[in-house]
Amino acid sequence: MTIVSIYIFSSWWDWGYGGCFGARAFCQQLAFLSIPLAFFIDFVFYSSKKYLFRGLVRLAALLVISSCLCLNLGQSYQYQSGLIHPDAMTKKAYWNLFRKYHYPDKYFENELMPYLDFVAKEKWKKGEGRDDKQTPRK
């Protein structure tokens, strides 16, 4: 079921899922994917079975889980602060912003965000249209 869902959700033309961070269409899959994750954690950390390189496997699993959590928290902060654009990110712009939490000097140059025109870039810099920079309504 997960493989079919990945195929169907990845075939949709709007890969950004309406300007959100992440693939929210996969949220329903979390319930199904939590079961194999629970079995994996139980086997690695709580199993009484002896297997080769048990300590190394535990350390590797802990590092992968910790890295995923840090990446999730960091990119959620970047998205909420407006660094990650909902639909105009390029590969170059993403890697230029990776693990940065403020705008670099060359962020708004055409080679980094070519899909935004000049007016949209200026508005994005000022915070217009961004959830984190909205002015209160009168």
Helix (H, G, I), strand (E, B) or coil at 50: coil
The pLDDT, as a whole number, for residue 55 is 87
The pLDDT, as a whole number, for residue 69 is 93
Give 7 or 123, the one with higher predicted confidence.
7
- Sign for the CA dihedral angle at 104, 109, 115, 121 comes to positive
Distance of CA 61 to the CA centre of its chain: 20
Q: Which of 32-36, 104-108, 111-115, 126-130 has the highest mean pLDDT?
A: 32-36
Question: For all residues of the chain together, what is the average pLDDT?
Answer: 76
- 57-105 pLDDT tens trace: 899 999 999 999 999 899 888 887 777 777 677 777 788 788 887 766 6
| Position 127 pLDDT exceeds 80 | no
The pLDDT, as a whole number, for residue 120 is 65
What ranges do the domains of the chain cover? 35-80, 85-131
Q: Is 97 exposed, middle or buried (0-12, 13-18, 19+ CB in 10 A)?
A: buried
- 12-31 pLDDT tens trace: 776 666 566 666 777 788 88
Q: How far apart are CA 18 and CA 26, in angstroms?
A: 14
Q: Please give the average per-residue pLDDT across 124-130, as a whole number.
A: 63
Asked whether 69 and 61 are in contact (CB, 8 A), the reply is no
Proportion of the chain above pLDDT 70, given as a percent: 64
